[in-house]
Amino acid sequence: MVTIEITYRGDLHCEARHRPSGQLVQAAFPPADRAGSDAFSPTDLLAAAFGTCLAIELGRIAEKELLNLAGMRVSVTKEMVDAPVRRIGRLCALIEIPVPLTSGMKASLERAAHRCPVRASLCAEIETGVHFVFA
């Protein structure tokens, strides 16, 4: 079990502290035009959790195979919906693998992406997509 401590700082800004490590993350209410955004929004953090979870899961598989995926990039696109309530409607990840892989390793990484714990924790109403670009 891990505890995250949230402190509301006022002016629609929060600070989250990961109790075990002491690391801090800032979050803020997103302005309508996004021009003045100075921190992740709470839904941005969920998208970041999805992308980092994918990267770490793939990294775990690669380490077992003594494969170095340093330089792998994951981009997550977040789409919001307004009805029936404002929420994330879709998260789509693009994973770019910079090293040549065998077809078997590609298949292993694709399977691992479907076992991402964050992805498995999302409600069924949030569509998720994962697309790979291999070197």
- Say whether both 27 and 48 belong to one domain: no
- If one counts the domains in the chain, the total is 2
- Say whether both 86 and 20 belong to one domain: no
Instruction: Kindly report whether the peptide bond that precedes residue 84 is cis, defined as omega within 30 degrees of 0.
Output: yes
pTM value > 0.85: yes
Range of the domain at 109: 42-134
Query: What Å distances lie between residue 73 and 4, 118, 130, CA to CA?
Result: 27, 18, 13
- 102 three-class SS: coil
In a structure prediction context, what are the per-residue pLDDT tens digits for the chain, which is 135 residues long?
999 999 999 989 999 999 999 999 999 988 765 566 788 999 999 999 999 999 999 999 999 989 999 999 999 999 999 988 999 999 999 999 999 999 999 999 999 999 999 999 999 999 999 999 999
Question: Cβ(50)–Cβ(126) under 8 Å?
Answer: no
* 103-113 and 42-64 helices, crossing angle to 10°: 140
